[in-house]
Amino acid sequence: MRSFVVTILLALPALAQNQPILENGWARVVMGATVPGQLSRPHVHKINRVMIHLNRGAQRIVNLESNTAKDIPFTAGQVRWDPRVGLHTSENTGGTAFKIVEVELNDNPPRKSPAPAKLPATPHKIELENSQVRVLRVIVPPRESAKILSPFIAVGLPTGQTQFHPGNTTIENKTIQTSEWIVVELK
C-alpha cells in the first residue's frame, strides 16, 4: 500500500521551486506559500531550518518512511525549529493561505568565532537556541535601532522583509511606529 501511495504522490505535478530571497555561505532563505488543501510532492530536507510563520494556519506532515503524520498548527509571527527530515509530504490543512520564511542553515558556515552571549539592549525575547542559531524576537522603538554583534538574518514582521547582516551592525527603525523583527543569529 505504501509504494502505491508514494507512486501516486510522485505522479502529482511538481510545485514551483521557491526562489531564494537571500543566499550566502551561512544560509539560504526562501518564502514558502500555500493555499488551502495544497499538497506538496514528496521531498527531503537535508539541512536544519528555522521557520518564521507570517500568517496563522496548519500543516500536516506525512513521513513516508515511517508512515506517520504530524499536525502542526501555528500562529502569525510564530518561530519553529525544523530539523532535517527524510521523505515526506506537507499539506495545508488550516483552511487559509499562508506564507513562511524558511531559513535553511548551511552545515558548514564561514565561522570566525562563536556567537557572543551579549543580547541587544532593545527589548527582546529568546525564541529558541541551539548549536546553530539563537533566534530572538526584537522590538525596535520608533526612530531607534538594535545592535547585533554576530552575523544574523533579520525578518520583519508581518511582511517577511528579509536582510542579512555580517555582524556588529544594527537593525534601524526609521518609522514612527514600533517594528518587530525575528533575528536569527548565526553561530
pLDDT in tens, 61-79: 999 999 999 999 999 999 9
> Are the CB atoms for 104 and 25 separated by under 8 Å?
no
Q: Is the pLDDT score of 2 beyond 70?
A: no
Are 2-105 and 124-186 equal in CATH topology?
yes
Closest CA to 55 of 39, 37, 36: 36
Closest CA to 186 of 160, 162, 167: 167
Residue 46 CB burial class (10 angstroms; 0-12, 13-18, ≥19)? exposed
CATH number of the structural domain 2-105: 2.60.120.10
Model confidence band, residue 5 (pLDDT cutoffs 50, 70, 90): very low
Q: Is the pLDDT score of 155 beyond 90?
A: yes
pLDDT at 117: 66
Using the CB atoms, write b or e for 73-111: b if 16+ within 10 Å: ebeebbbeebeeeeebbbbbbbeeebbbbbbbbbeeeee
Mean pLDDT confidence for 155-181: 93
> Which of 55-59, 65-69, 116-120, 129-133 shows the lowest per-residue confidence on average (mean pLDDT)?
116-120
Look up the pTM and report it. Answer: 0.85
Q: What are the sequence ranges of the domains in the chain?
A: 2-105, 124-186
Q: Is the pLDDT score of 148 beyond 80?
A: yes
124-186: CATH topology: Jelly Rolls (2.60.120)
Q: Is the pLDDT score of 3 beyond 80?
A: no
DSSP state of 141: -
Instruction: Measure the CA angle with vertex 128, ends 18 and 76; round to 5°.
Output: 55
pLDDT at 36: 95
Phi, psi of 122, deg, nearest 5: -75, 160
- Arithmetic mean of pLDDT over the chain: 87
> Are the CB atoms for 165 and 115 separated by under 8 Å?
no
